[in-house]
Structure 1
Amino acid sequence: MSSPAPGRVLILFAHPALHRSRINLAMMDAVQDLEGVTVRDLYEVYPDFHVEVSTEQELLVEHDVIIWQHPFYWYSAPALLKEWMDVVLEYGFAYGDEGRALHGKRVMSALTTGGPEDAYDRAGYNRFSMRELLAPFDQTAHLCGMKYLDPFILHGVNQFSPEQVTAAAASYRKRIQELLA
């Protein structure tokens, strides 16, 4: 397998109800035109959930930064992103004695939540911090030999004004540009 081109970012986007999301649409629009960024809308590519493993693995090899962008549904990823992880990050490719294809790559969660930031705290109604709730993503990255970066999280997005949506999308674009550098 060939080595990745420097600064290539693969955004694996998963939103099962994109037509209802102002913020995720704005985030995707904000980064679509960036050179070195590949946006992959998993629900558009795989509406039947039949993930093409070899294609997805090739894309992973071609990029050095992987973004898992999705709404934070039930303290996890939407079903298709979980399916993607289950079949693409397989033994012998992503982990195991021979599974070193992803070693050294960076990975980041880019999440949106409906609840406010203080809800994601031990004293909040979700009882755990976001870092604690994201432990399975962190461990997945670790098992695959990747570095799990600090997540990009937008809380309380259902209450965002149009101005806040624009500002959040610009902030996301800036974070992706930093990863391209």
Structure 2
Amino acid sequence: MMFSLGVTLTTCHDVEVGVLSAEQLTINGRPIKNRAFATVRDECCPNLKSCSTEIDKEGRQCPRWKEKFLVNLASSSRNILVEVHRRGSSRDKIVGRAWIPVSDFSDEYSVPVTNRLHLLSYRLRDTKGVRNGIVNVSIRVLSPTEKSVSPSPSSSVTSQASCSGSRCGTVTGFPVWQ
């Protein structure tokens, strides 16, 4: 009986996430009129700092950010987490969260489809799980050639987050009996 080691290599995918706007935002049943911002991160990397939009300064119930972020998404990730917050005088309050399934921009084999722009809208849920508005996003998985080119200062990508630790570029072994 022989024991051998099969190896699986997990990789990361660079994903451009655009946080476009939100609508129907409330806190305690009252419409939000100003100081809203959004954060984006890979759900599998909770210790990774999230990317954040600027605060919507125009004071609307439907804030518009139109900001893009480069997120290094681990292949083991199932969701991208988008949170909408309201900046308060003493602390920020979470208005709502949306989990964007990777399957929404992947093929039937869970392989992210490169260079296709996906315009998506998701229901936000507050910390109690109650519906609380909608967030509109764009998602595009970058091709390997685009990954090697770093964004220029004039690029529309305003921030970059990258996955680190054991989830990216790790080798996983499992026994194979022959």
TM-score by length of 1: 0.30
- RCO higher in 1 or 2 (8 Å CA, sep ≥ 6)? 2
Asked which structure has the greater CA Rg, the reply is 2
Which has the larger share of helix? 1
